[in-house]
Structure 1
């Protein structure tokens, strides 16, 4: 059979092949890269803090789909002057010390990283207006323990309700707590309460987490007077706050003595990434008592031969602490009440 094209036809000539150019195995070393911290993320652009100046940057292609989040320490190249119109390039994300994660709900396999490299999780909840939601507090504590962060419970609007009942719920867990109220004349947080909170945050990178309307941004403005975070009110019909913070932002504390991360108000906190063995490891005193548990024990109250029950019966474990641990464990599986 004769060929389809002759040597005189244009189609006869071989067309250029794709990717004929040899790729080099050598990659840039980026020896001149500078290290910075991501302070906020907005639609694919990253605002960095580099030696006290704000630098806009984008993610380089070799990073692929690797996420870059607030709190990340990154290496950047390009124009790092911070002048208007300049854009640097993030070429590497430094290994993270901690990662605060959540999922949209408990059966969502996709983890969302909220903040990296923070060492304190400040769970902010109002004692009234809006009403406290202990289930969310429990879930935030689980996330803090599993990520290796120190949790702190901050109760706001103490001028409207007593904190005693809520604090009693968490006393056996040993969670540090602070109570803040509002000055009757100005409506702003009391100065002595803000000073106590500032002392607790000094020298740390702390994430503020809570529902909309609980007063996170108000506390941020009190801690950092020039922060300029928007504040909102609570809807009288739904009892829920209005979103005022739309994205997480890291704000340095005065005198460069630590930083706080203000996060948008959340409506849910999924824990699909947390397993029972992850949580028990964060309670070393209780984990030692599970050595006699049968294989596959989830350590819940429904387990017939859990070592925690045996330890309580012998008097080796504090029953209130075991109950508190199991309440946190139950929060991993129960998303019906927030």
Structure 2
């Protein structure tokens, strides 16, 4: 050590009494006991429109998701707890700090090979499948998929048939009447006004109903008739392709004037069921499931030994048995391909 340089020892080390960041992190999270409850009615780029009940005067509150929710998804229909500025005033923003337990979740995937499921809506109790009788033509396979998704989510199904002024619903109903799926026949073009609208209202009263259907079936027209203030965009069917143009771009929950909610969703062209267990699919075909009692052990219901062929041939599945069995096997094949990947 060179002359004149002092040796340092432990007494020269200064210890800050309360260094910043030395406090142990608590595992306890704020309980937000002062949070108010709201229902998510729309989602748009990280901003959530919620409806907060304050006596007889509900108010709309715009909110963002709090950091503590991390990657938890918030969807239309969710009941959430809000803190911060919940006045609903212009240019204010509340925080969603908690998602209440969901009573039901309606899901779908992009296709039957997509492992990523998408939650469409939470806390609904009815799935309304809207289909036109013509222009565009009904798509029974898509309808079957929607019914499977409804049963799997614990929702009651309802078929709403539109454009009955252009086609007789009898042929279509022949395939679905044996399933005892409730239905309403409607038309917005009859001289006497919108026929069937009162029956639809009765089915929706005091319920949370999700409307699904492919583009061009008249879903937005029906929603506008049920909720006059909705102002949902409507479109025309392409004369060449027979397909409708997407007019609804996001799901939105709309309060019905006489009680209940309608959740209008964008038009769909596919309804993947990758999230539905293969073993449960047959349970959602109540006209076919009894016929599996005579199937051999481990039957996939898509093989020569399957007893469903004899069940259908004997007419025990009803007049639509053959087409329903074909629909079932298409679903099983698509899902089976996913399980083998």
Taking a change above 3 Å as real, the CA distance of residues 262 and 185 of structure 1, as seen in their structure-2 partners, is same
Taking a change above 3 Å as real, the CA distance of residues 313 and 244 of structure 1, as seen in their structure-2 partners, is closer
Between the aligned partners of 2:241 and 2:27, the Cα distance in structure 1 is: 59
Q: TM-score scaled by structure 1?
A: 0.84
Q: Is the 8 A contact 1:173 1:321 kept in 2?
A: no
Q: Is the 8 A contact 1:272 1:332 kept in 2?
A: no
Q: TM-score scaled by structure 2?
A: 0.83
User: 1:221 and 2:220 equivalent?
Assistant: no
Partner of 2:172: 166
Q: SS of the counterpart of 1:75? A: strand
Taking a change above 3 Å as real, the CA distance of residues 18 and 284 of structure 1, as seen in their structure-2 partners, is farther
Is there any run of 5+ residues in structure 2 with no aligned partner, and where? 1-6, 14-18, 335-341
Partner of 2:277: 275
Between the aligned partners of 2:137 and 2:324, the Cα distance in structure 1 is: 23
Partner of 1:132: 138
Q: SS of the counterpart of 1:183? A: strand
User: 1:121 and 2:124 equivalent?
Assistant: no
Between the aligned partners of 2:331 and 2:182, the Cα distance in structure 1 is: 22
Partner of 2:245: 242
Select which of 248, 264, 279 maps to 1:262.
264
Q: Deviations over 1:82-115 (max 9, x none)?
A: 1111111111111111111111111000000111
Between the aligned partners of 1:331 and 1:86, the Cα distance in structure 2 is: 50
User: 1:35 and 2:37 equivalent?
Assistant: yes
Deviation of residue 118 (structure 1)?
0.7
Partner of 1:4: none
Taking a change above 3 Å as real, the CA distance of residues 304 and 62 of structure 1, as seen in their structure-2 partners, is same
Taking a change above 3 Å as real, the CA distance of residues 242 and 282 of structure 1, as seen in their structure-2 partners, is closer
Taking a change above 3 Å as real, the CA distance of residues 284 and 106 of structure 1, as seen in their structure-2 partners, is closer
Partner of 2:234: 231
If you compute each CA radius of gyration, which structure gives the higher value, 1 or 2?
Answer: 2
Deviation of residue 179 (structure 1)?
0.9
Taking a change above 3 Å as real, the CA distance of residues 159 and 305 of structure 1, as seen in their structure-2 partners, is closer
Between the aligned partners of 1:140 and 1:285, the Cα distance in structure 2 is: 16
> Please, what is the CA RMSD of the aligned residues?
3.0
Is there any run of 5+ residues in structure 1 with no aligned partner, and where? 1-6
Q: SS of the counterpart of 1:273? A: coil
Taking a change above 3 Å as real, the CA distance of residues 65 and 296 of structure 1, as seen in their structure-2 partners, is farther
